[in-house]
Amino acid sequence: MSCVLKSGETPHETMGRLFCVLGKSGSGKDTVFRALVQERALGLRPVVGYTTRPHREFETEGVEYHFRSEAEFAALREAGKIIEERSYRTMHGVWRYATVDDGSIDFSAGSYLTIATPEALGGLRARFGPAAVVPLYLEVEDGLRLRRMIRRESRREAPDYPEVCRRFLADEQDFAREVLRQQGVTASISNRRLRDCLAQIAGIIRQAGFAEIPRG
Ligand SMILES: Nc1ncnc2c1ncn2[C@@H]1O[C@H](COP(=O)(O)OP(=O)(O)OP(=O)(O)O)[C@@H](O)[C@H]1O
Ligand SMILES: Nc1nc2c(ncn2[C@@H]2O[C@H](COP(=O)(O)O)[C@@H](O)[C@H]2O)c(=O)[nH]1
């Protein structure tokens, strides 16, 4: 991973950003992530996370995630390649997720987009500096979000409703107001309507991101 700074320049003036989509399960992180990456004008490069979770139908290695075994995760850890890691006791055992130093981030080249959690923000800031990490916290009213989660699950080959319930309940603690405050997440973006949500995020990105930084 390289962060190229010329003498006298601060990260704020010269570098791209790491925009982090976060939100409770079903808040639309994957949907928003895909739409933002496809929006070429924003110039965002995707940072693909690593996970030990088994891959779901329609997921492709290297697109949604890099799918790795426990042993491969341990090897990455051992090699000091893991920037931040979270693990969850799911209905199917422990699943791990991580951002890995695999050489894919170069802030001198532009801005990046990833999916994160409140706890992940700390590790990302420690690695890239607080100014580089911009949280985009999605919010959807609980009832609507749960309906979206259940509808999405019902379309899967083997719906896993217990895991849906676990995530819904776990998120209450993981995204508690105090946790968000500690991680400096003070603003939220409504994803009731996707179009409005994307427009608001595009505004934030244009204001904070690499594309808007005056040159010369
Ligand atoms: N603004 C929206 N309006 C209607 N449906 C939406 C909207 N945003 C997302 N959805 C739908 O809601 C469901 C959940 O969205 P998505 O999978 O993107 O959430 P997520 O936050 O990535 O969830 P998880 O953390 O559980 O993976 C999907 O079926 C998606 O198509
Ligand atoms: N706060 C929590 N985040 C969780 C939990 N289980 C998974 N996750 C995070 O969600 C996203 C997406 O996961 P996916 O398996 O649907 O692709 C990922 O960033 C995980 O870190 C949890 O129990 N609590």
**Residue type (1 letter), 132:** A
Ligand number nearest to the C-alpha of 155: 1
Which residue's C-alpha comes closest to atom 12 of ligand 2? 25
Ligand 1 cavity residues, CB under 6 Å: 23, 25-31, 148, 152, 167, 191, 193-194
Q: Which residues of 86-95 are buried (b: 16+ CB within 10 A; e: fewer)?
A: beeeeeeeeb
User: Would you place residue 4 in the very low, low, confident or very high pLDDT band (cuts 50, 70, 90)?
Assistant: very low
pTM of the model: 0.90
CATH 3.40.50.300, domain 18-208, yes or no:
yes
182 vs 119: CA distance, rounded Å: 10
Can you tell me the mean pLDDT for 58-84?
96
129 vs 139: CA distance, rounded Å: 25
pLDDT > 70: percent of the chain: 90
Secondary structure class of 172 (helix, strand, coil): helix
User: Would you place residue 14 in the very low, low, confident or very high pLDDT band (cuts 50, 70, 90)?
Assistant: low
- Cβ–Cβ < 8 Å for 68, 91: no
Structure tokens at 50: 């690593």
> What are the residue ranges of helices labelled H in the chain?
11-14, 29-38, 70-78, 118-128, 142-154, 161-174, 177-182, 194-208
- β partners of residue 84: 99
Residue of 64, 97, 165 best suited for mutating to test ligand 2, as the one with most atoms within 8 Å of CB? 97
Domain ranges for the chain, please list them: 18-208
